[in-house]
Amino acid sequence: MGGGGACAGAPRAVLTAETHAHARHSATIRAMLGQVMVRRLPVLQSQDTDDAAAARRPRWQWVLIGAGLVITLFLPLSWLGVWLGAWLSRAASRADGRALPIVLGVLPVALSFLIACAGAGALVGRFGGRAKAREAALSGSLGALIGWGLAALGGSLSPWLVAVTSLAVLVTFGAGAAFLGARLALPRRV
């Protein structure tokens, strides 16, 4: 009833003796080969952190990074802005049939562009290393130029007066929003 009589203990003792002999044999082989086969793996230690690499990055690269971020942020925000602008425009056209529906249709898209430029400027201002608010403003301008070029390729800038005016407005407000975003982020620089 208590389990484990003389029969149960015998195989365990044999198993322990076999395991002990195997371990002693393995230790002998390891001791002989230990002098011949010494494995030393190279240790790669990076002296630079990501912040140090970002600090050494040239300023023009931060302009390109910021411009890419302007476009990356503006595309989904503009989708929401177009949806909201269409909804506001429909609601305002019932009450007033003049310029108010046009302004309410354009305002959310313009606000989404300003938010994208300010966000990109804040990134350049905070993590830009040697890049300051000037490079953030350049990234906002370059992002505006890229966005304008995409709109021109889509055919939405048909009269030349609309194309030139929209380019001037986008570059001016994009640079201003990115400059402001960088100025707000500079005191929190890493």
pLDDT one-digit tens code per residue, 87-146: 998 888 877 667 888 888 899 999 999 999 999 999 999 888 888 899 999 999 999 999
Q: Over the chain, what is the mean pLDDT?
A: 83
Q: Does pTM surpass 0.75?
A: no
pLDDT one-digit tens code per residue, 31-85: 666 666 666 667 666 666 666 777 788 899 999 999 999 999 999 999 999 999 9
Q: Is 113 exposed, middle or buried (0-12, 13-18, 19+ CB in 10 A)?
A: buried
Q: Show me where the domains of the chain are located.
A: 56-188
Cβ(183)–Cβ(133) under 8 Å? yes
pLDDT one-digit tens code per residue, 135-154: 999 999 999 999 999 988 98
